[in-house]
Amino acid sequence: MNASASSVGKSSRGPLAVGALELSGRAFLAPMSGLTDVGMRRIAMQFGASLVVSEMVASDAFVRGEAESRVRAEGEGVTPHVVQIAGRDPSWMAEAARLAEFAGANVIDINMGCPAKRVIGGFAGSALMRDLDIATQIIRATVAAVAIPVTLKMRLGWDHSCLNAPELARRAEAEGIALLTVHGRTRAQFYKGEANWRAIRDVTEAVTIPVVANGDCIEPADAAAMLAASGADAVMIGRGAVGRPWFVGQIAHYLATGKLGKLPSSSQRRDAALMHYRALLSLFGREQGLRHARKHLAAYAEWAARDGAQNATPLRLPLVTSDRPIEVERLLSRVFDDERVREAA
């Protein structure tokens, strides 16, 4: 699908808001488990993302004070700070929302879209789209628990025989949800096939609150096409931002001006990647941080190679296998070195 930035659904309206919170633009970083740590979110915001969302936090684990859930909900240096919570019990969800608000969250996002087996096995995430009565109870309890805006992320439905996103959207709006995000796949599709942006329009036409389209935004033309097809107010970028968190800001600029935001210099990207790596070591400690960083390091190298860094491909393997932080930083810097030479020439 192709569309110009002048035909991007509802994006021609004034500034987008989540409740009373006015946003800077219309491109968001998606919540991704194991990926959207606070380091990645800081970088995305630094380069112009309009909104970023934490990794999914299990509500019961968060209330019990489990360390991993607290790390996932970390938001230092991120404003506005959005914490996504997941669960099936309305009381746990309400208490988790209260704790997140007390800890400084500006927005609570409810997860009803995660397709992972470990999540739906507990009847949470996208499994809630099979029981809209429980889903509605969770929304009602969470909204009532906090004074800050509450948003909701969902899929089109459980499978193609149950495309009930419009009905859930109507219920959510009636219960006070401030904004909806719809991933253009069913749970049965997981991440396979293509996201159906046109099907999201059934949700945008069912409610008056802002709707965000999610799924398969890899290039600028995708963002414009998503909005044109869905009639949504904004786009949410997930896997397309891994290894290039600045891409979200580039898309925000594109949707606002019709021109893609400039690719940050190789020095800026190098410094951002190093900052992200150091943040992971600080968050998780040396051993766990090294393991957690590898998927990000591989993605930084892959995108650097696509952007013309000739060192990136041969350095990828040593970069992700080294267990020495100083060596990793040296290799990560070298990934961008040859680009810097060309830029200076």
Confidence of residue 11 (pLDDT cuts 50, 70, 90): very low
Confidence of residue 339 (pLDDT cuts 50, 70, 90): low
pLDDT digit string, tens, across residues 199-211 = 999 999 999 999 9
Q: Write the single-letter amino acid at 31.
A: P
CB atoms within 10 A of CB 329: 16
Question: DSSP letters along 142-174, please?
Answer: HHHH-SS-EEEEEES-SSTT---HHHHHHHHHH
114 is catalytic: yes
Give the count of alpha carbons within 13 A of 247, CB side only: 24
- Longest Cα pair distance anywhere in the chain, in angstroms? 63
- Mean pLDDT for 130-151 is 97
Share of the chain above pLDDT 90, in %: 85
Q: Where are the domains of the chain?
A: 9-257, 266-344
Spatial distance between the Cα atoms of 222 and 219, rounded to a whole number of angstroms: 5
Q: Check residue 3 and give its pLDDT.
A: 40
Indicate whether 9 pLDDT > 50. no
Indicate whether 12 pLDDT > 60. no
The packing angle between helices 165-174 and 197-204, to 10°, is: 30
- Mean pLDDT for 154-182 is 96
Going through the chain in order, the beta strands assigned E by DSSP cover 17-18, 21-22, 27-29, 51-58, 82-86, 107-112, 150-155, 179-183, 211-214, 234-237
* Residue 3 structure tokens: 């569309």
Q: What backbone torsions phi and psi does residue 56 show, to the nearest 5 degrees?
A: -65, 130
Among residues 53, 100, 114, 127, the one annotated as catalytic is: 114
Spelled out in words, what is the top-level CATH class assigned to the domain 9-257?
Answer: alpha beta
Indicate whether 327 pLDDT > 80. yes
Question: DSSP letters along 205-246, please?
Answer: TT-SS-EEEES---SHHHHHHHHHHH--SEEEE-GGGTT-TT
Confidence of residue 121 (pLDDT cuts 50, 70, 90): confident
Q: Are 134 and 111 in contact (CB under 8 A)?
A: no
Q: Mean pLDDT for the chain?
A: 93
Among 6-20, 75-89, 283-297, where is mean pLDDT lowest? 6-20
Indicate whether 49 pLDDT > 50. yes
Indicate whether 123 pLDDT > 90. no
Q: Check residue 340 and give its pLDDT.
A: 52
